[in-house]
Amino acid sequence: NAGVTQTPKFRVLKTGQSMTLLCAQDMNHEYMYWYRQDPGMGLRLIHYSVGEGTTAKGEVPDGYNVSRLKKQNFLLGLESAAPSQTSVYFCASNHPLGQGTDRASYNEQFFGPGTRLTVL
Judged by CB under 8 A, which of 27, 72, 86, 111 binds another protein?
111
Partners of residue 6 on adjacent β-strands: 23
- How far from the centroid of its chain's Cα atoms is residue 49's Cα? 10
Minimum CB distance to another protein, residue 42 (Å)? 4
Alpha helix segments (H runs only) across the chain = 102-105
Residues of this chain, 46-65, that bind another protein according to CB under 8 A? 48, 50
Contact 16, 81 (CB under 8 A): yes
Residue 11 touches another protein, criterion: CB under 8 A: no
Residues of this chain, 76-105, that bind another protein according to CB under 8 A? 90, 92, 94, 96-97
